[in-house]
């Protein structure tokens, strides 16, 4: 499928995911986070404990109609081989109705989909929600600027999930 058709596919994905357009404040917050953590990773600091943040993240994902495919507790994995790791859990989720057409058009998107968000706790006890910048990710796969509107909506949905999980 040609790159020009990605905009239509992404519009379907956004519609299926129920994504909202980010506000100017959301864009500024995401921009601030990107400035501190690199241009391809977004980190949102949480006001909640690790377990509360993880629970709220899963609830926010479910509330938006995404399907949770897996929850991977990396700290438990480390403990299983007698090693220590601060709390680190990956939540893998998506919407097959929206993601499948993207992978039908560009099968290698299966490396990126479903979506992923990582909840971490640092040495000082601060909790973060970390995820990849979708706009950058889709550019890596050749999606042109014509898809910027749908990508902003998808990024806004992830930003809203992270903000909901991280605020008291």
145: domain range? 3-166
**Whole-angstrom distance, CA of residue 32 vs CA of residue 79:** 34
pTM, rounded to two decimals? 0.75
User: What mean pLDDT is predicted for residues 75-79?
Assistant: 98
Which CATH number fits the domain that encloses residue 30?
3.30.310.70
* Whole-number Å distance between alpha carbons of 113 and 26: 23
The predicted structure's pLDDT at residue 145: 52
Q: Which helix (H) or strand (E) holds 106?
A: none
**pLDDT-derived band of residue 72, with 50, 70 and 90 as boundaries?**
very high
Give the pLDDT mean for 115-136. Answer: 94
Number of domains in the chain: 1
Residue bearing the bigger pLDDT, 48 or 28:
48
Contacts of 122 (CB under 8 A, 6+ apart): 86, 128
Higher pLDDT, 127 or 37: 127
The answer on pLDDT for 4 being more than 50 is no
Helix, strand, or coil (residue 168): coil
């Amino acid at each position: 499928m040609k790159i020009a058709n990605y905009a239509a596919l992404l519009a379907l994905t956004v519609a299926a995911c129920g994504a909202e357009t980010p506000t100017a404040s959301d864009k500024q917050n995401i921009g601030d986070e990107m400035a501190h953590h690199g241009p391809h990773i977004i980190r949102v600091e949480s006001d909640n404990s690790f377990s509360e943040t993880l629970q709220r993240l899963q609830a926010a994902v479910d509330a938006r109609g995404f399907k949770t495919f897996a929850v991977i507790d990396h700290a438990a994995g480390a403990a299983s081989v007698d090693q220590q790791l601060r709390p680190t859990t990956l939540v893998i989720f998506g919407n097959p109705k929206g993601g499948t057409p993207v992978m039908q058009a560009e099968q290698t998107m299966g490396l990126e989909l479903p979506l992923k968000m990582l909840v971490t706790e640092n040495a000082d006890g601060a909790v973060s929600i970390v995820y990849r910048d979708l706009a950058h990710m889709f550019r890596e796969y050749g999606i042109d600027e014509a898809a910027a509107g749908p990508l902003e909506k998808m990024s806004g949905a992830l930003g809203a999930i992270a903000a909901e999980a991280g605020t008291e």
